[in-house]
Structure 1
Amino acid sequence: MLHRRHLLHATAAGLATALLGCESGTTVDGPTVATASESTPATRATPASALLEEVAPDRSSELTVINASFETLTGDDQLFAFGLVGPDNTPVTGAEVSVWTGSPEGGQVRGPVRASFREVPNQPLGLYVVTLELPEPGTIPMAAVTTDGAGGETVLRVADPETAIVLPPGAPAPVVATPTPDDLLGFERLCTLDPPCGMHEVSLDEALQAGEPVMLTIATPGFCETAICGPTVEVVEGIRASRPADSPIRWVHVEVFSDAGATVADPVTAWQLQSEPWIFGVGSDGQITGRLDGPLTILEDEIAALADQIA
């Protein structure tokens, strides 16, 4: 069963817990998010375990780096989002941050690459996003250092597309029915957003069988209510509403649970998901074009760009 993962953030009243996603099994790391990077980062050899010591030996304080998604793929221009928390459990927001990555067994260090800070809408929260070059699969160390010398390290779980847990770009989209107003397919609620979103007009299987491009959102507003996770469907709905009226894209939303948060829905199982929320772009050929997960509320540009790819 999906379980919840938490990230500490500061609010006006003090610390609050913001839910980044819901996943099953052990906590893992992740995602894919965009930002500007410096041109041609330098490389040098160093053991993976010594990455932070190598890039910031005189750091002023230790930071906790919190991964914001489930799985990252190998390749160039891979997006990754993360949070930073200081020694006093206070979130580090709005800082200038540089990022380095290593390799599974020690090898080339890539960096620095500049991360950018993105605020969570209507909240005193935010995450950093960065574009990374990740040529090797495995457990990849990543170090983040601010301009005032504070630093922290995490590890990314990086997978080849061929061995990815979640369906990667290029894979055929599972053709599965999703609920519509005319057929709830056993779901207690069509949509837990209040009022319901407009992305239930067509079942996913019908759209795919008709050769229509699809933007599929798998998320549950009613059972993932924090500032980072909860508004996902509203954000996607806003992007959908901004598209031209004659857009060929079918926008489909499916809830994670078929009941009051206890039973994972069949479409979620069919798509082999172990976390939420996710967005997949599927082309008219039925193949997945791209995927985004985790802090989708700060990824409006990336969601819109994915829609442009499949239109």
Structure 2
Amino acid sequence: MEPKLLGPSLILLTLLFAACTRGPAATPAASQEAPVTFYLVSTDLAVEETRFAFGLIGPDRTMIEGARASLRFIRGSQVVLEGEAIYRSVAIRTPHIHPGGEVHLHIDTRGLYVVDGVKLDTPGEWNVQARVTLPDGSGPYLLEQDVIVKGKSSTPAIGNPVPPTRHKTARDVSDLSQISSSEEPIPDFYRVSVAEAVEGHRPFVVVFATPAFCQSRLCGPVLEIVAQTIPSYRERVEFIHIEPYDLSLIRGEGRVQLVEATVQWGLPTEPWVFVVNGQGRLVAKFEGILALEELEGALKKALAGGT
């Protein structure tokens, strides 16, 4: 059985391993000795086309940027898919105020590695092997992790209709701070609800993010990336931001409670970005960090009516 090569939509793929059977795995001892740890970012793996995301951490627990990582996805003893990951990153800007009142930005970078178009076609346990060469040229190191693939994702599946969620928009509040934790909410994000976008038969983007209360610190940067596309697409695409938590409770009582939209969309984490076509069917979904070119590629596909 020959392993399948993933489609080249967002990544360049090469033949990484000659054999189609599972090769020697990294032993626990070898994994412990390697100066890098492989960890899974994708939390909603299922039998559908998936954007497979993972991170690499060094011995000092810091993120490793710019490594070369090749993956193979193994079911039983067969290598089913293989591909090369692309590193995606966002800049996190934190204002720092000096005693004299001067303000400057601290810039931190967060990133992850992505293999796009992964189709794990059988539910159950899979083994993922990562062949990693570090930025300093050391390696390659062979790492592995077992993952569980569900029969159905908790979030909407690619190609399926999305939940026609009704939620508050700018028309329902006296101030956008009631439905947004952004320091400066962008009005375009609060014009229509998901239900209205579906009924209007226009492509749309939904961002589930909470800039002020995000556990990963990625919500603000991800929302900013989506906002960068608004000027070019606002005449053809609706943009929607939904806070995943009840803001009145988290602000008033410090209590975290999911809003109904978060439950309807089955979100296991935040932030998430979904791109939907004019027929209300999901074209793409991104968990955590996404690159501007990834989003624009999905928007073009949605405008063309594809899934």
Q: Give the TM-score normalised by the residue count of structure 1.
A: 0.74
The answer on 1:300 being equivalent to 2:292 is yes
The answer on 1:235 being equivalent to 2:218 is no
Q: Would the aligned equivalents of 1:120 and 1:126 in 2 still touch at CA under 8 Å?
A: yes
| Residue 92 of structure 1: how far off its partner (Å) | 2.5
Candidates 7, 26, 35, aligned match of 2:11: 35
| Residue 200 of structure 1: how far off its partner (Å) | 0.4
Candidates 128, 134, 140, aligned match of 1:149: 140
What are structure 2's unaligned runs of at least 5 residues?
1-8, 92-106, 134-138
The answer on 1:195 being equivalent to 2:184 is yes
Matched residues, number: 266
Q: Which position in structure 2 is the counterpart of 1:129?
A: 114
Q: Which amino acid aligns with 1:113?
A: G
- % identical aligned pairs: 26
Candidates 130, 143, 164, aligned match of 1:175: 164
The structure carrying a bigger helix percent of its residues is 2
| Residue 310 of structure 1: how far off its partner (Å) | 1.6
Deviations 1:77-129 (A, max 9, x none): x42121112344343322222222211xx221256532222333253443222
**Pair member with larger Rg:** 2
Deviation beyond 6 Å, 4+ runs, structure 1: 56-60
| Residue 75 of structure 1: how far off its partner (Å) | 5.2
Instruction: Return the alpha-carbon distance in structure 1 between the equivalents of residues 41 and 211 of structure 2.
Output: 18
The answer on 1:265 being equivalent to 2:259 is yes
Q: Would the aligned equivalents of 2:88 and 2:289 in 1 still touch at CA under 8 Å?
A: no
Q: Would the aligned equivalents of 2:218 and 2:271 in 1 still touch at CA under 8 Å?
A: no
Q: Which amino acid aligns with 1:263?
A: Q
Aligned CA RMSD, in angstroms, stands at 3.1
| Residue 224 of structure 1: how far off its partner (Å) | 0.8
Q: Which position in structure 2 is the counterpart of 1:16?
A: none
Q: Which position in structure 2 is the counterpart of 1:3?
A: none
Deviations 1:35-54 (A, max 9, x none): 3221486443239xx63359
Instruction: Return the alpha-carbon distance in structure 1 between the equivalents of residues 110 and 18 of structure 2.
Output: 32
Q: Which amino acid aligns with 2:74?
A: G
> Aligned pair in 2 of structure 1 residues 206, 89: CA closer, same or farther (>3 Å)?
closer
| Residue 174 of structure 1: how far off its partner (Å) | 1.2
Q: Would the aligned equivalents of 1:98 and 1:115 in 2 still touch at CA under 8 Å?
A: yes
Q: Which position in structure 1 is the counterpart of 2:79?
A: 109
Q: Would the aligned equivalents of 2:47 and 2:150 in 1 still touch at CA under 8 Å?
A: yes
Instruction: Return the alpha-carbon distance in structure 2 between the equivalents of residues 133 and 210 of structure 1.
Output: 32
> Aligned pair in 2 of structure 1 residues 308, 269: CA closer, same or farther (>3 Å)?
same
Instruction: Return the alpha-carbon distance in structure 1 between the equivalents of residues 31 and 210 of structure 2.
Output: 44
Deviations 1:138-178 (A, max 9, x none): 22211212231323222333334xx2222102222211212
Greater RCO, CA 8 A, separation 6+: 1
Question: Secondary structure at the residue paired with 1:141?
Answer: strand
Q: Would the aligned equivalents of 1:144 and 1:151 in 2 still touch at CA under 8 Å?
A: yes
Question: Secondary structure at the residue paired with 1:35?
Answer: coil
What are structure 1's unaligned runs of at least 5 residues?
1-32
Candidates 20, 26, 36, aligned match of 1:63: 36
Question: Secondary structure at the residue paired with 1:191?
Answer: coil
Q: Which position in structure 2 is the counterpart of 1:98?
A: 70
Deviations 1:237-259 (A, max 9, x none): 1122232x532x11111111122
